[in-house]
Structure 1
Amino acid sequence: MKRKLLAVLLTCCMTAGMLAGCGGSSKEAGSAQPEQEGAGASAQAGTEAAAESTGENITIEFFNQKQEEAAQQAYRNAAEEFHKEYPNITVEINTVPDSDKVLTARMAAGDVPVVFHGKPTSQAFFESAEAGYCMDLTDQPFIEKAIPSLLEAVKSEDGKVYAMPYSQNFMGVFYNMDIFEEQNLDIPETWDEFMELCGKLKDAGIQPLEESYKDTGMAGHYRGGAMAALFPDGALWLAECAQDPEKKPSDNPDYRTFAEKAIQIMDYCNEDVFGIPQTQAMENFANGKAAMMIYGSYGRGTFLVANPDLNLGVFPIPGLTKDSGLVYAGVDACFCVSGKATPEEQDAGLKWIEFLSRPENAQKWSDTEGAPSAIDGVQYGSEGSLPMLNRIKEGKVREWKAYYDSRFSDTEAFQGLLMDRDVDKFLKNADEVWANAHVSG
């Protein structure tokens, strides 16, 4: 079970874990009281009920795996409001570097946080949940507040819900709308137009792209977004290769094309792309040192924290043709309650999730954190976000999830590709990873 759990959690924590190192370890605590019958109807009713209750004090841990400062601030803000309504429950928000590794080790040892982020996009997650590590949330009223399509996306084969979807993610090109207007630039619709736009910016003395690929995880995020745009069936092809030892990634010529195109951005990135910390790159872009940054939706809040006056837009990473590319997108933050916690801890954890899931609270969280909400009725972004939101609404999406076992991964090889721009070497390395994974499996 421990071996399986390690694989499970590496998948469950994939998105947040790739951001490890973006923020320091922190713990935030506050108090709140168990909810009385009907207390969830409104904040005022909850406060009155809490004041009348004589419930015992209880402390629960919320293991937050979203490292960006904006996300941490959003949870701190929510916790402050939660504490006003439930003054006898202490929610300890725990945010640590290398969160995926930390959570993996803790859960393998049976030390499961009461509430934690899960990633219900693989069979491994559901195997873990069915083994008792996640509480069944199917009958909780708050799950009805999720956008129906996203709720369906996190259900197990038998229709159970073990994780409450809370936010969505996507990889896109964030851009400074003021720079685009000053330079009379249009949003590119194909990859060649994107590269042409980068050239125009460079010729005008403007840094086209600010990126940080110092960490393998962030290189992997770009890889996922670029593959969805340039090789839309790439994830499915690699999954085939993971199933069939006779197939290898380089057999498909579109995999080479993806690699050849993806490295073209390196001509337009900051020179310290492999040395600058991710947070510094984000701050540089936000403060006008570059026109664009390829990043996930989770970065929007941090950009606006760094520069509240930033006129920010985001468009899809362009495909080879106008209509061929897909957006790498899906469910991001999901809340799980430990199946190993005491009934009292589980009850408090459910109250915390119910509070976060109220549309008015989810709106505040989304506005601060920057990611689109998974709660129905919550609005996102500004007019500058419409190119991305419209593409997602059209269903032109490659779901952000694990399509194959984590032993099959070309992420490190892709980071090497960005460094040396040697496509043949990248293809050879990827083939070797798949071959070795088949042997070890």
Structure 2
Amino acid sequence: MRLCFRSFLLVMLAVMILAGCTDEETEVSSKDNEGSGNQVTLTVYSTVSNEAEQNAVKKVVNDFEKENPHIRINLNLPGQDYESQLRIRMAANDLPDLFDTHGWAKNRYGEYTMDLRDMDWVEHLDPTLEQIFIDEKGKVYAYPLNQAMDGLTYNKQILEDYNIEVPETFEEFMQSLETIKEKSDGEIAPFWFDGSTTTSFGQYYDQFATPLLITHPDHDYRDELLNGTFDWEPYTFLSEKLLEMHEKDLLNIDVLTARTYEQNQLIAQGKIAFVMRTVPINVIKELNPDIELGVMPVPAIHQGDSPSWIGGERHTLAIWKDTPHPEEAKAFLDFLSRPENVKAVAEGTSLSAGLTNAKADIYYQPYFDKYKDIVVEPYFDRIYLPNGMWKPMGMSGQELLSGALSPKGVTQKMKSEYLRLFEQAGFD
């Protein structure tokens, strides 16, 4: 009995000693945390996707952390899940400290963003971006890492071999496709789509909608689109032409099953003449150093009109208005806005800089310079369509070419979705 009691006392003593150690360790840990109170972590979300883009952003992040050791950047690159993740965080009103507005600085994310008008870099904002990033009250919504000037990319050698001038009108574009099909004996896809996804069809409808419905004074429907009275009948033209291309074998034979990853290989092999996007030249040059590509504005559709660049914001960073670290977030944007970093990010993403304090040495710059007098029009869906139209717009291309919808059926679907979403959300 005495042995058991002594054992009990020893156990209790051990517990008391351990408890004392635990209390001491907790106190030390608390002191350590107090000592590191100046350490800040900024959560940053971006849509940069390909490896070259990601490396460019990671490089400036690393340089910033070296210069500012008390600030850590938690960089998130969710890829295709970006939009869904941001929607969830918006619903919870818990956004990252800095995030990419990817084309929606005002219309989707505006109420969540800090006003950046007092930052020094604003005076260097490219004038072509002012309507996108600054509202009528002067609020500046986001910082532009670069800017987009979209049209079509083409294989320069193919056009030269077949004596084809860069088309300026839709009619000339169609003639170019037919010439390529005929002279290549079907070995080259005149106009290539990765139709297993909705993206490239969405780009076709979105970019060609501008010359069809906006830029020509006799075919300007911007007011009707913005107030909800557009009847959509003129939109049928785009589906009729896309179906005509398909029926005449002017598109790739596997248009509905082709995948995005195949594009770069086929371009490098000289198997594609035109694509509906600006392609990552650095990746393609690695596959074929001798390849020569060009970019061109979107051809005019109506007689007497001029081609158009379709563009605006591409990669950006906005600061969440409720970030607990506003000064550190601004410090990161200040760092990005240094000329050497403006240049590095633009060149790493193969796009023009968003600020005028640096000029990027990018592959496509000679083409942007050649067409410097061409007006840059904003992306059609970001201005004239209610939020949520991109997916049905892209899907309609798949449904058209698979035979599920006629050209008029596509128009009716777009009209129905437009009215439903317009009534649901409307425009501010």
Same fold (TM over 0.5): yes
* Higher alpha-carbon deviation: 189-198 or 431-440: 431-440
How many Å apart are 1:223 and its aligned residue?
A: 1.2
Instruction: Check the 8 A contact 2:168/2:307 in 1, yes or no.
Output: no
In the alignment, is residue 260 of structure 1 matched against residue 240 of structure 2? yes
Change (3 A) 1:258 1:134: same
State the partner residue of 1:104.
Answer: 87
Amino acid at match of 1:109: A
SS at match of 1:160: coil
Write the deviation string for residues 233-269 of structure 1: whole angstroms up to 9, x where unpaired. Answer: 5996376256245x5212xxx3232332344443322
Instruction: Check the 8 A contact 1:211/1:293 in 2, yes or no.
Output: yes
Task: Tell me the distance in 1 between the aligned counterparts of 2:254 and 2:337.
Answer: 40
Match of 1:348 among 328, 332, 357: 328
TM-score (normalised: structure 2): 0.77
State the partner residue of 1:151.
Answer: 130
Amino acid at match of 2:99: F
Instruction: Check the 8 A contact 2:256/2:398 in 1, yes or no.
Output: no
Task: Tell me the distance in 2 between the aligned counterparts of 1:349 and 1:298.
Answer: 31
State the partner residue of 1:138.
Answer: 117
State the partner residue of 2:415.
Answer: 431
- Runs of 5+ in structure 2 lacking a partner? 1-35
In the alignment, is residue 403 of structure 1 matched against residue 387 of structure 2? no
Task: Tell me the distance in 2 between the aligned counterparts of 1:231 and 1:187.
Answer: 23
SS at match of 2:384: coil
Task: Tell me the distance in 1 between the aligned counterparts of 2:316 and 2:176.
Answer: 37
State the partner residue of 1:45.
Answer: none
* Higher alpha-carbon deviation: 215-224 or 407-416: 407-416
State the partner residue of 1:336.
Answer: 318
Write the deviation string for residues 24-83 of structure 1: whole angstroms up to 9, x where unpaired. Answer: xxxxxxxxxxxxxxxxxxxxxxxxxxxxxx994322221011223332122122223333
Instruction: Check the 8 A contact 2:195/2:255 in 1, yes or no.
Output: yes
Task: Tell me the distance in 2 between the aligned counterparts of 1:98 and 1:427.
Answer: 29
SS at match of 1:136: coil
State the partner residue of 2:146.
Answer: 167
SS at match of 1:268: coil
Change (3 A) 1:116 1:426: same
Amino acid at match of 2:396: A
State the partner residue of 2:268.
Answer: 286
State the partner residue of 1:318.
Answer: 299
Alignment of 1:235-254 (within 5 A): 237=221, 240-241=224-225, 243-244=227-228, 247-250=230-233, 254=234
* Higher alpha-carbon deviation: 361-370 or 421-430: 421-430
Alignment of 1:32-181 (within 5 A): 56-96=38-78, 97-118=80-101, 119-120=103-104, 122-126=106-110, 128=111, 133-181=112-160
State the partner residue of 1:367.
Answer: 347
Amino acid at match of 1:271: I
SS at match of 2:192: coil
Amino acid at match of 1:137: L
Write the deviation string for residues 367-391 of structure 1: whole angstroms up to 9, x where unpaired. Answer: 2211221121313534x65455544
Write the deviation string for residues 258-307 of structure 1: whole angstroms up to 9, x where unpaired. Answer: 33234444332222222232232234223433122221x47445544655
In the alignment, is residue 185 of structure 1 matched against residue 164 of structure 2? yes
Q: Over aligned residue pairs, what C-alpha RMSD do you find?
A: 3.0
SS at match of 1:98: helix
Paired-residue identity, %: 25
Amino acid at match of 1:75: V
Task: Tell me the distance in 2 between the aligned counterparts of 1:215 and 1:327.
Answer: 24
In the alignment, is residue 211 of structure 1 matched against residue 190 of structure 2? no
State the partner residue of 2:396.
Answer: 413
Match of 1:422 among 383, 402, 406: 406
Alignment of 1:18-37 (within 5 A): none
Q: Which runs of 4+ in 1 moved over 6 A?
A: none
Write the deviation string for residues 420-441 of structure 1: whole angstroms up to 9, x where unpaired. Answer: 3721221222232234446656
Task: Tell me the distance in 2 between the aligned counterparts of 1:304 and 1:60.
Answer: 35
SS at match of 2:310: strand
* Higher alpha-carbon deviation: 363-372 or 257-266: 257-266
